[in-house]
Amino acid sequence: MRPIALPGTKRGRGNPNWGKLPTVAPALPTEFEVQVHRLGLTRAEYTASRELKRWCERNRNRVYIPEWLLEEWKIEVEAIFSGVA
């Protein structure tokens, strides 16, 4: 015996989310940005901070550091870690 479909009721068939774009997760701060926030620095104070410079020297091959800041401090990043090589 087949089930009887009542008039006016729509059968839910298929994936209701088909064709919808996935929601994008919010961007998380980089480790550099977390460090700058922890030190309470503004962008103008980056180059004068000795503690930030030491942190950047220790982590230059591991995390993202803005290129302009690396050039200002003359910190070299090893090419094997930068993805350039």
Residue range 68-82, pLDDT digits in tens? 999 999 999 987 765
Q: What is the pLDDT of residue 84?
A: 57
Listing DSSP states for 10-73 in one string gives PP--S-TTTTPPPPPPPPPPPHHHHHHHHHT--GGGTTT-HHHHHHHHHHTTTS---HHHHHHH
- The model's pLDDT over 15-68, given as tens digits with 9 standing for 90+, comes to 888 888 888 888 999 999 999 999 999 999 999 999 999 999 999 999 999 999
Look at residue 81 in the predicted model and tell me its pLDDT.
64
Read off the pTM: 0.66
